Structures are given as C-alpha cells and as structure tokens.
Amino acid sequence: MGSRRNGYNKESFILSVDVGTTSIRCHVYDKEAQIRGSCTSKVVPLYPEVGHVEMDPDVLWKGFISVVKGAVQDAGVQMSQIEALGISTQRSTFTTWDRKTGVPFHNFISWQDQRAAELVKSWNRSCTMKVRQAIDEGNCCFGTIDTWLLFKLTKGRVHATDYSNASATGIFDSYQMCWSGFLCSLVSLPLSIFPKVENTGHNFGSTDPSIFGVSIPIMSVMADQQAAMFGECCFDVGDVKITMGTGTFMDINTGSKPHASVAGLYPLVGWKMGSEVVYLAEGNAADTGTAIKWAQELELFSDVQDTSAMAYSVDDSDGVCFVPSFSGLQAPLNDPRACASLMGLKPSTTKNHLVRSILESVAFRNKQLYETMLRETHIPITKIRVNGGVSSNDFVMQLTADLFGRKVVRPQHREMSCLGAAFVAGLEVGFWTTHEELKKLQSTDKVFLPKGIAKEGSNQEYNPVLQRWERALRRSMNWYKP
C-alpha cells in the first residue's frame, strides 16, 4: 500500500500506543494487522499516602515519546511511513493544567486512587488556590490521560477527548451524550474546564513536527477496555470480551442503547464513529492479576507459566477456598469492606492446592460476572473472546468455559487495546475499510470448549466446589469496619 500522505510508493503503517496501569506499549501495524515493531516502557505509580495513587505527567509524557520512537525504530521504518496514530489509555486517571503554559497543577490522580469525592478537600492548599485562580481566569484544563497527551502532542492546540473516555469518568451523561452539569456541580468543577468530546474515530489534529520530525495525524483516541472490545471485533449485540490483567473487565455489546443496572454493571459508550453509537455494559473484578502476583511474591511458584500445570497436577484444591478481595468485591456483591482470605487449610494442603484455589477463584469470579450479565441485560450471548495476561493460563480459561457452558476463544495477540485503537485509526484513513475486513484479520490461538456440561452455565462436577467458595465469600464480606 502506497503512502497517500507523502505521495510516493512506500509501504505505510498504523502506529498505536496503549497507556496502561503498569506499562506504555507501542506497536507498528501493517495492512494484515501484524506487529512490525514494538517498544514498551514501565509506568511507575506514586504512593504519597495510604490510599493515594498518582502518576507524574512529565514522566508519562517522556515514556510516551520514547515508546513511539522505539517502536518505529524496531520496525525499521521511517516516521514518514506512519499513516495515522491511535491512542488507547487507562480510564478515569486525570489531572488539571495551565492552558497557557501546559504545566500541570498536580500529578495524575489514578483510577486506583481511593480519595474519590474527598479529593478536592485533600489537595494541598497552594495547589487548590492555583487551580481556583486558573478557573477564574478561564485558564484551567481538566483532562484524562488521552486529553493530556492530545494537548501535548499538538502543542496546546487541541483540548479534547472521545466519548469512550468521557463515559468512564462518572461525570458524563451517557444518555444525553454530554458532560453532566449536575454531576459537575456536585464535585465543584465548572463545565468550562472540560475538554470537547469528539467521535472515537476523528481527526484530532496532527502531532507537532518538532516532536517526531514529521506531522502524524491522530485519528483515534479510545479508553482501554472499549479499545480491547473493538480489537476483539465485538461489533454485534451480544458479543462479549473478557480482559484479564491486573483486574478482570467483562463487557457486552448492548447495541444502540445504554444499559441501566441494579447489580453494579456500568453503562459505557463503547465507541462513536460517524453517527453510530455503540454502548457496552461492564462488570469488573479488581484483583485478578493482583492475586496471582501476590502468590508469586509468597514464592508459591517462580514462573507464572507453571501455574496451570501446578493446578492440573492435583485433582482438586483439597477443600481450600481463596477469596480474591484485596480491593473489596465488585459486581454483583459490591462490598468495598470485604477482605481477601484463604479458608479450609489443612496439614495435607500443598502449594499446588493453594495455586489451584487461587486460579479457581478467578474463574468463579468470571462466572459471577457472566451470570450477572445474563440476568441484567437479557441479551443472548453471541460469542465470548478473552485477552490480557491471565488469559494465557489454560486452567483458568478451560474452567471458565466449563462454568459458562460456552465456547471461549483466545486470540494469538493478547494486547487488544493497542489493536483496537489501531483499527479505529486505520478505518478513519482508509487503511482498512470495513468491520468484515477487520474480522478476517483475526487470528485464534486456542478455542476452549466446555466439558462435562449438563446445560449452559451449569457444571455439575463443580457445583459443590462453587457452593463452598460462595460460603467463603460470604464470610469474607463486611470484614473491615467503616
């Protein structure tokens, strides 16, 4: 494919960056959606106080620039061959900055931060005064990571976000498709500081040529879970994707209408392209990868790749139940005061039993989220695709398929957020043209078929184990007193 931007016959590529919780990844994609070059940089969170989680905006910016240059170099191509840039970011992590100077008033406040509504009160006095003064002068910008990056990449020309990122902030009205004046007033934030909300696929402007040597069109900005959904080609109502990384995020395509839930599913804008809006309903479990990393730090195993074989090496968990609740329990139980726990320990319990109980708990939480989704949305599930680091664990994936009573598909490439942002950017510039073309580019690593199923969602063999685990779950609830 020739480069339309430069007018000479060189192969062109799509560049995509995913700013995650633990790393920044950049990939260079060719026409077959194959990765031609990659670069990764670590994200180091800051913990100034208990419950506070922050990120340094300048460090994040330098990391972003570094991975873009590194991936293009790794691909052995020129910056001028990059047709478009797509950006996927972790959601709800925000900062405020001076519109004139671009200098942040404070660090990014992470989505993991526990200050929430008390945040404004806890900011130090001088910072709050600076922000208030900038607001009064019409000189304050509020933004999530995507908005900050757009502002920096365009040298302050663009203050914008997209609908998928806006809908995850908690102060956007997904029904009216605009910032909520009522919710903004509750947290004492004037509407004037918020970015303009654009389509997910949109020409957000081009990178300033001083940054990469050429101007690269920024053609997509997308929240990470919604980007993963797009990367998995979950374009149809009833399509489900499960991302299992630090936490588990289960999303279902609900079509053209947002879904209101009583059990903790969150209505999100998946993406808006042209006049089409696609909504998702999302449930999450916070401590998936966290629990496995904790077990590794306890030296229950040295290599995470060994855990599936360890779990399969024993017939059961010897009656041990693990409750993965380092951050409380999310949907459908919604108990922030629940504790993590191991119950049913015996002298006969081995490391293999403990590892199996931890992996089982991941699949059990998947089942809870899946059943909540079925019960709340009443939408027939059409397909289930998985991604994220924990999805590489065969034991977890097979047990998930067994408990769902459904086929579960794992793609070859696990980093779907990057791919989703690339797909959207590529569609915008005609690098790819249709959803059907994108589906043909998908490659499958493994298909997990349910075993020993009496009926969908009912695994007779595991029912007693699941019931025992649910008992352990109830005993772990309301542990920490307010």
Domain shared by 256 and 229, yes or no: yes
Domain shared by 279 and 210, yes or no: no
Domain shared by 80 and 156, yes or no: no
Q: Is the pLDDT of residue 5 over 60?
A: no
201 touches 220 (CB < 8 A) = yes
Give pLDDT tens digits for 401-444: 999 999 999 999 878 999 999 999 999 999 999 999 999 999 99
Give pLDDT tens digits for 256-303: 999 888 888 999 999 999 999 999 999 999 889 989 999 999 999 999
Domain shared by 329 and 230, yes or no: yes
362 within some domain? yes
Among 39-43, 130-134, 157-161, 386-390, name the one with the lowest average pLDDT. 130-134
Domain-terminating residue out of 185, 200, 220:
220
322 touches 341 (CB < 8 A) = yes
241 within some domain? yes
Domain shared by 252 and 213, yes or no: no
- Model confidence band, residue 9 (pLDDT cutoffs 50, 70, 90): low
- Model confidence band, residue 176 (pLDDT cutoffs 50, 70, 90): very high
Q: Round the CA-based radius of gyration of the chain to a whole number and report it.
A: 23
Q: CA 420 from chain center: how many Å?
A: 11
Domain shared by 165 and 31, yes or no: no
196 within some domain? yes
Domain shared by 210 and 280, yes or no: no
User: CA 331, CA 292: separation in Å to the nearest integer?
Assistant: 20
Domains of the chain: total: 3
Q: Is the pLDDT of residue 1 over 60?
A: no
131 within some domain? no
Domain shared by 461 and 334, yes or no: yes
- Given this model, what pLDDT does residue 4 score? 45
Domain hosting residue 171, numbered range: 142-220
Q: Which DSSP string do the residues of 150-164 spell out, in sequence order?
A: HHHHTTTS--EEEHH
Q: Which DSSP string do the residues of 381-419 spell out, in sequence order?
A: P-EEEEESGGGG-HHHHHHHHHHHTS-EEEES---HHHH
- Given this model, what pLDDT does residue 262 score? 81
Domain-terminating residue out of 185, 202, 220:
220
Domain-terminating residue out of 188, 220, 252:
220
Q: Is 324 exposed, middle or buried (0-12, 13-18, 19+ CB in 10 A)?
A: buried
Domain shared by 241 and 306, yes or no: yes
2 touches 72 (CB < 8 A) = no
137 within some domain? no
Considering the chain, what is the average pLDDT of its residues? Answer: 91
124 within some domain? no
Domain shared by 311 and 363, yes or no: yes
- Given this model, what pLDDT does residue 124 score? 45
Degrees, nearest 5: CA angle 38-42-45:
150
5 within some domain? no
User: CA 400, CA 397: separation in Å to the nearest integer?
Assistant: 5
Domain shared by 276 and 342, yes or no: yes
Domain shared by 185 and 211, yes or no: yes
User: CA 441, CA 445: separation in Å to the nearest integer?
Assistant: 13
201 touches 310 (CB < 8 A) = no
Q: Is 42 exposed, middle or buried (0-12, 13-18, 19+ CB in 10 A)?
A: exposed
129 within some domain? no
47: CATH = 3.30.420.40
- Model confidence band, residue 118 (pLDDT cutoffs 50, 70, 90): low
